[in-house]
Amino acid sequence: MDAIETDDQIGGRVVIVGAGHASAQLCASLRQEGWTGGIELIGSEPSLPYQRPPLSKAYLAGKADLDELLIRRPDFYAKQGVTFRNAHVTAISPDRHEVTTDDGTRIGYDKLVLCTGARPRRLDLPGAGLAGVHYLREVADVEAIRESARDAHHAVIIGAGYIGLETAASLRALGIGVTVLEAAGRVLERVTAPEVSDFYERVHREEGVDLRVGVGVAEIEGRERVDGVRLTDGVRIDADLVILGIGVVPNVELAEEAGLAVGDGIVIDPHGRTSDPDILAAGDCATYVDARYERRLRIESVPNAVEQAKSVAASICGNDRPISALPWFWSDQYDLKLQIAGLNIGYDEVILRGDPTRDRAFACFYLAQGRLIAADCVNRPQEFAFSKRAIAEGLAPDRRALADPEASLKALLDPAPAHSAR
């Protein structure tokens, strides 16, 4: 007979499925919001929640170990009364308020939070299963890449999004030759202006990366282990390591099988609740209508996961606070720190502060009908801080001042009518 676990503490039990950034924040926020009952954290990886962004950067380059990546130390979970279980949840039974794990254990819950994250999008390509071909999402993925990289001379990275470009920078730091292949006409095409794409293409080529855009991949070649990549035009590139970075897919299967509403993610309301009031969701797996951008979004970022977890914890404890934080992101490549404020959805104008064709520090401001809606800031922390505030306040800064590196950013935050969207 399968075991059934319950919790008789005041407040009942919160079960969290998935052990990432949202989960770690949720464990802290639940206690801060006054939850006195049990908290059970179930993760499919053996480690406690760790930071994922450094995987393609410091961890791959061998500059950090797993202990350094832990979001919170083990004693935090002990002090907060959080039970961690390394298991894979195979089913949710909303009517019985239970989840079932892969060893047959059924765990009761009063509130369930799905922080199931996302997984790499698979490439349906001949040779994709060869040894030496990798995806990058978890610690185990990076360990496998590092093992392959020990004897590697040349790597091919398929996909020039942030993961692909960050991985390219890390492999170059290890002295490995790198070719990056991108099907689109430019790198980061879906998320940045052409000026920013051109900048990153220039930098990666200056760092020795063979960067090719507008190309298709026909096959990954090799017998048992990869030894090359064949393009659709017949060109062959020698490779003893291939990394696939073509985006991610939200893990919605558990939710869908439980009858919850799903789309490009698990559908939640502004408080993190799913279509079942006792089941909530947060992080890369969740999609919600953002009031600022007036559209449904699924945002893959650490700050988003953290802010959603705070709202979910408040909802569980009866202290409703809607998800409202401004989205922001970052990417580290070589000596460059890119900080992104807001989303450039629907921009109609770009203003540059600095020269991306020559320098390694500049800001790219995105405007819509005169209002600042997003900014890409490369090695420009002051512009990033300014942009977060200006976007949140709906300001329409003077264009000439935005473009002038000598102009005062503080003056642009003046709430006078000349600088404000009224």
Residue-wise DSSP of 396-407: ---HHHHH-TTS
Phi first, then psi: give them for residue 345, nearest 5 degrees.
Answer: -60, 125
Same domain, 27 and 168: no
Same domain, 53 and 158: no
Comparing C-alpha atoms, which of 382, 345, 380, 384 is closest to residue 366? 345
Domain end (from 316, 344, 365): 316
Q: In what order do the strands lie in the sheet with 262-263?
A: 262-263, 265-267, 286-290, 295-297
Q: Is the pLDDT confidence value at 2 over 50? A: no
287 and 341 inside one domain:
no
Indicate whether 325 belongs to any domain: no
Q: Is 329 inside any structural domain?
A: no
Q: Do 200 and 176 have their domain in common?
A: yes
Q: Looking at the domain assignment, is residue 186 inside a domain?
A: yes
Given 316, 349, 367, the domain boundary residue is: 316
Q: Write out pLDDT tens, residues 267-319.
A: 999 999 999 999 999 999 999 999 888 899 999 999 999 999 999 999 999 99
Q: What is the pLDDT of residues 222-255, one digit of tens each?
A: 999 999 999 999 999 999 999 999 999 999 999 9
Asked if residue 323 is part of any domain, the answer here is no
What does DSSP assign to residue 123?
P
Beta-carbon contacts of 93 under 8 Å, excluding residues fewer than 6 positions away, are 99, 100, 106, 258
Residues 342 and 395 in one domain: yes
Give yes or no: residues 8 and 115 share one domain: yes
Q: Looking at this protein, which amino acid is placed at residue 168?
A: A
Same domain, 10 and 114: yes
| Site of tokens 């709906």 | 394
Q: What is residue 418's DSSP assignment?
A: G
Instruction: Please state, as a whole number, how many other Cβ atoms lie within 10 Å of the Cβ of residue 335.
Output: 11
Please give the pLDDT value at position 41: 98
Q: What is the C-alpha R_g of the chain?
A: 23
Residue 390 is part of a domain; what is its CATH number? 3.30.390.30
Residues β-bridged to residue 401? none
In whole angstroms, give the CA distance from residue 282 to residue 297: 12
pLDDT digits (tens, 9 = 90+) for 191-229: 999 999 999 999 999 999 999 999 999 999 999 999 999
User: Distance between the two ends of the chain, CA-based, in angstroms?
Assistant: 66
CA neighbours within 13 Å on the CB side: how many for 188?
20
Q: If we measure between CA atoms, which residue out of 246, 14, 38 comes closest to residue 109?
A: 14
- pLDDT-based confidence at 413, cuts 50/70/90? confident
Q: Are 17 and 115 in contact (CB under 8 A)?
A: yes
- Whether 21 maps to a domain, the answer reads yes
Based on the domain organization, do 86 and 18 belong to the same domain? yes
- On whether both 212 and 269 belong to a single domain, the answer is no
15 and 115 part of one domain: yes
The one-letter amino acid code at 253 reads E
Identify the residue with better confidence: 412 or 199.
199
Residue 417 scores a pLDDT above 90: no
Residue 330 lies inside a defined structural domain of this protein: no
Residue ending a domain, choose from 246, 279, 299: 246
How far is Cα 366 from Cα 373, in angstroms, rounded to an integer?
6
Q: Which whole number is the average pLDDT over 371-393?
A: 96
The DSSP secondary structure of 39-78, one letter per residue, reads EEEEESSSSPPB-SGGGGTTTTTTS--HHHHBSS-HHHHH
CA distance 399 to 307: 31
At 194, which CATH number? 3.50.50.60
Name the domain count of the chain. Answer: 3
The torsion angle over the Cα atoms of residues 301, 306, 307 and 310, rounded to 10 degrees, is: 160
pLDDT band of residue 57 (cuts 50, 70, 90) is confident
Q: Which residue range is the domain that position 415 belongs to?
A: 335-419
| Domain membership flag for residue 321 | no
Mean pLDDT of the residues in the chain: 93
> Is 60 exceeded by the pLDDT of residue 421?
no
Residues 258, 158 share a domain:
no
Looking at the fold, whether 209 and 311 belong to one and the same domain comes out as no
- Tell whether 125 is covered by a domain: no
Taken in order 16, 19, 21, 24, is the CA torsion positive or negative? positive
CA angle 340, 16, 114 (to 5 degrees): 60
